[in-house]
Chain A
Amino acid sequence: MKRQFGKWCAWAMILGGLYMAPRVLGVFELNVLLGTAIFALFSLSLNLLLSFTGLLSFGHAMFFAAGAYGTVLVLTRLSGFPLLPLIGIGAAAAIGLALLLSPLLVRVSGHAFAMLTMAFSQIMYATVMKLSHITGGNDGISGFAIPSVSIPVVGVVDMALEQNFYYFAISILGLSAWVMWFFTRTPFGSIMVGIRDNPERVTYLGFSVPLSKAIILCVSAGFAGVAGSIYALFQNMVSVDGVLGPLSSFSPLINCFIGGLGTFIGPIFGTGIGTILLELMSAHPEQAQLVFSLVLIAIVLFLPGGVIMLYWKANTRWMAVRQNIQNRFFKRRIYE
């Protein structure tokens, strides 16, 4: 009961904070927050493969990129396309790519999976460069207007306004994160964890591992696509180095490691910490990489469970302290 109450309080604070953000934060801080949220969703989608299915993907950026290009290409070619379906197009593009690759990807795991995803991501990079008449190549596509949204009762909402777009984007990101969390809690989610621990046994229980992996890949890719789609709209541009470069290829992985593997919300913490680090170092971008790497090394060496472990440890310690207090109080009452 008490736990439940605490949980609701935490939720109210998070939602309240996200709601109030545009009122208390400046434009710059708001943009940092939204950028973090986008990469948090991207990292969560990667974590679905990494922590829950035990698959290390080095090429997850290709799904992020598919979402970004899918949305932008439709937006710039078909005028009058509404905003929400545009995000859907981004997700669909990423899922389409996942479906295309799944016949190969679902049959491998471990190193082979990591290498295959990396190779496909490289191929995607080359393809985007090659098709520069469509994708804009190195320069990318930019300067498009985000369509307004008309909501019954409320009226037309202008998405060019930072704060309106923030509310729109954060709602989609939050909802996506929740759906992914729900996904891990379904019967299928438990089979996913089974595949991570012992794929052969899962097979012998009568579950098709390749088919299950294909579904997980599509779900993970779809949400990476949503993140990519919102990222392109938010940046008001998409370019090959922006969505397929080192930042989008490696930072989600690093975020997962910093946050802590094996939990659902670890990557959110990891992304938050990564952002804070980068912002703190923004005056010295040359050294940012170095500091970032040192932090990563420190975490891998001294906190292999990631930052989330600090919370668990603190939590267990607090529980012990509370138990202790209760015991004393209880004993005294007995003696009195």
Chain B
Amino acid sequence: MNDQHEPADHILTTRGLNHYFGERQVLTDIQLEIQRGTRHAIIGPNGAGKTTLFNTITGKYKPKSGRIFFKGKDVTGFKPDKLARMGLGRSFQINSTFAGLSTFQNLRMAILARRKIRFNFFRFLDKIKSVTTETDAFLRRIGLAAERNLPAGLLSYGKHRCLELSLAMAVDPELVLLDEPAAGMSREETHKMVELIRELTQGKSVIIIEHDMDVVFSLADRITVLHHGEILATGSPSEIKSNQEVKDAYLGEAEVGNAA
């Protein structure tokens, strides 16, 4: 089996991933190696294929060619729910919560998943004390206790974003893919979000897509730059900062963007 070729300290490896939308190639020969217990950032301009890469890794799309190894196992073609049960979590670029349900009910769904309570038809959910307690504890941890009974759709954008992240983290994944968790946030909110990410992802492996370079450089152990669906460079933050190709393709633009 190829399984043996994947070093044990890599939680995720991709080999030669290609993905197309119709005729158009959006991912070209993607090779990723994510070290267990590290935070790995993926940066790149709009439309570079970052979200598509997440969708491919998590099994929403099946790659046209290439292999994906998660925890040393070939998981190419696995469905998102199966990968989630194996410990692969994911948050969304556009908030994707249960808008009509309360913040508590939202988070409780994730706690049920964490405790592997899936096909339980024989108990009142409200009477399972441990689930309620754990959900409330998590709400306090993320600072949403006051919004416990508010429908998620009525949360302020910043708090909704926080719930979005928490839905992924409350399941207790080993590896989590965060798609622009701080998108659309103010300076202050972004700062809080970074702290929350740091807190919630302690000891876990993380892949994070982010446009905000301050966030990237303060969180990431390694960085991969994606450009037109191809990997331009992968390296430590300082290596990426000094990489001329990256500067030309992306960092320059971002700095211009920040200055404007």
Question: A-side interface residues toward B, CB under 8 Å?
Answer: 182-183, 185-191, 193-194, 197-198, 200-209, 215
Chain B residues, CB < 8 A from A188: 118-121
A193 CB to closest chain B CB (Å) equals 7
Chain A residues, CB < 8 A from B119: 188, 215
In the assembly, what is the distance between CA of A198 and CA of B92, in Å?
Answer: 13
In the assembly, what is the distance between CA of A155 and CA of B133, in Å?
Answer: 50
Count residues on chain B whose CB falls below 8 Å from chain A CBs. 37
With A187-B128, A188-B121, A189-B125 as known contacts, state yes or no: A203 contacts B101, CB within 8 Å. no
Contact A183 B121 (CB under 8 A): yes
| 11 sampled A-B residue pairs with Cβ under 8 A | A186-B120, A186-B122, A187-B120, A187-B131, A188-B118, A188-B119, A193-B101, A197-B99, A204-B80, A208-B79, A215-B119
In the assembly, what is the distance between CA of A281 and CA of B62, in Å?
Answer: 58
Contact A206 B84 (CB under 8 A): yes
Of A205, A208, A215, which one neighbours B109 at CB under 8 angstroms?
A205
Chain A residues, CB < 8 A from B108: 190
Question: B-side interface residues toward A, CB under 8 Å?
Answer: 58, 79-82, 84-85, 89-90, 92, 96-101, 105, 108-110, 112-113, 117-126, 128, 131, 167-168, 171
With A204-B84, A206-B84, A207-B81 as known contacts, state yes or no: A186 contacts B125, CB within 8 Å. yes
Chain A residues, CB < 8 A from B120: 186-188
In the assembly, what is the distance between CA of A191 and CA of B116, in Å?
Answer: 12
Of B79, B82, B105, B125, which one neighbours A185 at CB under 8 angstroms?
B125
A54 CB to closest chain B CB (Å) equals 10
B110 CB to closest chain A CB (Å) equals 6
Which of chain A's residues has its CB closest to B91's CB?
A204
Of B100, B112, B131, B171, which one neighbours A197 at CB under 8 angstroms?
B100
B182 CB to closest chain A CB (Å) equals 20
Chain B residues, CB < 8 A from A205: 81, 84, 109-110, 113, 167, 171
Which of chain B's residues has its CB closest to A219's CB?
B121
Chain B residues, CB < 8 A from A203: 79-81, 84
Of B100, B118, B171, which one neighbours A191 at CB under 8 angstroms?
B118
Which of chain A's residues has its CB closest to B85's CB?
A206
In the assembly, what is the distance between CA of A182 and CA of B120, in Å?
Answer: 12
Chain A residues, CB < 8 A from B96: 198, 200-201
In the assembly, what is the distance between CA of A127 and CA of B192, in Å?
Answer: 63
Of A190, A204, A208, which one neighbours B112 at CB under 8 angstroms?
A190
In the assembly, what is the distance between CA of A183 and CA of B121, in Å?
Answer: 6
Of A185, A197, A206, A207, which one neighbours B126 at CB under 8 angstroms?
A185
With A194-B109, A197-B98, A200-B96 as known contacts, state yes or no: A187 contacts B85, CB within 8 Å. no
Chain A residues, CB < 8 A from B125: 185-187, 189-190
Which of A183, A189, A198, A215 has the most chain B CB atoms inside 10 A of its CB?
A198
In the assembly, what is the distance between CA of A188 and CA of B119, in Å?
Answer: 6
Contact B121 A202 (CB under 8 A): no
Which of chain A's residues has its CB closest to B99's CB?
A197
B131 CB to closest chain A CB (Å) equals 8
Contact B167 A201 (CB under 8 A): yes
Given pairs A190-B108, A197-B98, 17 additional interface contacts (CB within 8 A): A183-B121, A185-B124, A186-B124, A187-B117, A188-B118, A189-B125, A190-B105, A194-B101, A200-B96, A201-B167, A203-B81, A204-B58, A204-B89, A205-B81, A205-B84, A205-B110, A207-B118
Give the top 9 A-B pairs by smallest Cβ distance, nearest first: A206-B84, A197-B98, A205-B113, A187-B120, A206-B85, A203-B81, A206-B113, A187-B117, A187-B125
